[in-house]
Amino acid sequence: MSSAQPVPFLKGHGTENDFVILPDPDGLLELSAGTVARLCDRRAGIGGDGLLRVVRSAAHPEARHMAGDAEWFMDYRNADGSVAEMCGNGVRVFVRHLERAGLVKPGDVAVATRAGVKRTHLAEDGSGVTVSMGPAVLPGGGVTVRAGGLSWPALHVNMGNPHAVAFVGDLADAGRLLETPDVEPASAYPSGTNVEFVVDRGARHVAMRVHERGSGETRSCGTGACAVMVAAARRDGLDPAADGEDATYTVEVPGGTLVITERTDGGIEMTGPAVIVAEGTLDPEWLHA
């Protein structure tokens, strides 16, 4: 990362999906994949499942076309430094940071992402953030997930980023998830995928584990929880666009709870917490080592 100036950072999380946040309003930081991976390293860096660079849309070539709708662009990177289209927990934490920094007021805030503009709503009482995640796309075709020596049929769901959702007998069946689950056919996911393992907890209430592309097993994934909600609804015979009735599910993740509604227009809304934990300045000696 090239910068002669001190580089500020924050640390935040949403249902324990944690992020390094780098405010860079004018898009001046040159952020290599290696620097992102160093920052997200839990022992030698700050630590995080991913990184949120906070850039004015007008200052970023990938977001300039959205500047009229959303002042701020969430430049999201996975912990290994790879770029991803969207991060559902990240976008909540992103707007919490904007609010805390006095850059937006509670209420409606639009955020530009690589998956388009996402509309968010920051509760006045600071309780949580709701994000309009857009519709799920179900490309169809059979997918199989293998992990922990077992295999399951899975549903391919795209929430701006790719997911394979498998219903399992027990969340422990997926094993330790230290390695990337095998997903077939690989051609269904040319850029890799996030994988969710799901069990039922009650009526319209599920629990999941997730192995994230570029980050490994994490304690939550917002786009993954939305993919799981849609997979559970279809399995339960619900399709709000056809039924003319919204469907709401509670999705438990290891790091907390997300509430997700699919509307009759196909739009998906996710509500959950967003917390800023700390802020500081990167040590220039460490940064430029």
Ligand X SMILES: N[C@@H](CCC[C@H](N)C(=O)O)C(=O)O
161 binds ligand X (CB under 6 A): yes
Which residues are part of the catalytic machinery? 87, 221
The DSSP code sequence of 250-274 is EEEETTEEEEEEE-TTSEEEEEE--
Q: How far apart are the first and last CA of the chain?
A: 10
Considering the complex, state which of residue 3 and residue 261 has its C-beta at the smaller distance from ligand X.
261
15 annotated to a ligand binding site:
no
262 annotated to a ligand binding site:
no
In sequence order, which residues have a C-beta less than 8 Å from that of residue 275 and are 6 or more positions away? 12, 13, 14, 93, 96
57 binds ligand X (CB under 6 A): no
- Residue 185: asked if its preceding bond is cis (omega within 30°), the reply is yes
Of the candidate residues 113, 130, 215, 271, the single one contacting ligand X (CB under 6 A): 215
Of the candidate residues 12, 48, 50, 81, the single one contacting ligand X (CB under 6 A): 50
For ligand X (CB under 6 A), the number of binding residues is 18
Please state, in angstroms and rounded to a whole number, the distance separating the CA atoms of residues 110 and 68.
10
Burial class of residue 220 in the structure, from the number of CB atoms within 10 Å of its CB (0-12 exposed, 13-18 middle, 19+ buried): buried
77 binds ligand X (CB under 6 A): no
130 binds ligand X (CB under 6 A): no
Burial class of residue 187 in the structure, from the number of CB atoms within 10 Å of its CB (0-12 exposed, 13-18 middle, 19+ buried): exposed
Question: At closest approach, how far in Å is the CB of 243 from ligand X?
Answer: 26
The token pair that represents 191 in the structure block: 């850029």
56 binds ligand X (CB under 6 A): no
Which residues bind to ligand X, rule: CB under 6 A? Answer: 17, 50, 78, 84, 87-90, 161, 194, 212-215, 221-224
**Known binding-site positions for substrate:** 17, 78, 88-89, 161, 194, 212-213, 222-223
Query: Which residues are annotated as part of the binding site?
Result: 17, 78, 88-89, 161, 194, 212-213, 222-223
